[in-house]
Amino acid sequence: MHIRLRSLMATSDGWGYAQGKTVQDRLRQMIEADSLQGIVWLSLDGVTRLDVSFARGAVLELAKSYRQQRGICLEYCDNDIQENIEAAANAIEQPLLLREQPLMYRLLGPLPSRGTRTLFSYILHRESVSTIEAAQALDLQVPNASNKLKYLWERGYLLRQERAAGSGGIEFVYHRPG
């Protein structure tokens, strides 16, 4: 699903938490009306300025509410706006990805724990990764890789899906929220 944030704003400037909450309500309605689960691509094309409070109210709280269910990934975001979004992301501890180019992403907000950063970086450059694939690629024990992936998923750095495993059970497949 692709949404242009500017189309939901009264002006090209986003100021204040109250204005952000109004935009969040519009965003949520659009997302809920979409029966498909997955990534919401949020374009900031046409947005000239926004403050930290607006970013928190419009985007970050929404991303946090969808954690473990849907991913929100930003596109077309200039450096000044990125700084304000990152400050909001850090304030509520909600990571958010910005797609700068195809297959080139920048994390806004809190960094993953030191022990999971290599794994997170590995997944950013792939469509999807199973626990076994990640363990083999990074020379980790499967339980260790599983714990790290679960940590990243629970904190909003990754999305995951269930699929049938070759053994007859289920396995989780992890992917970036963008």
Give 91's contacts (C-beta < 8 A, 6+ positions apart).
Answer: 52, 56, 60
- pLDDT, position 72: 94
- Residue numbers in the chain where pLDDT is lower than 70: 35-36
CATH annotation of 112-178: 1.10.10.10
Q: Which CATH architecture has domain 1-110?
A: 2-Layer Sandwich (3.30)
The pTM for the full model equals: 0.89
**What is the CA 9 to chain-centroid distance, rounded?**
21
Q: Could you give the CA distance from residue 151 to residue 174 in angstroms, rounded to a whole number?
A: 12
Rounded CA separation 3/24 (Å): 12
Among residues of the chain, what percentage have pLDDT more than 90?
Answer: 79
For the chain, give every domain's residue range: 1-110, 112-178
**Beta 129-130 vs 96-101: how paired, if at all?**
unpaired
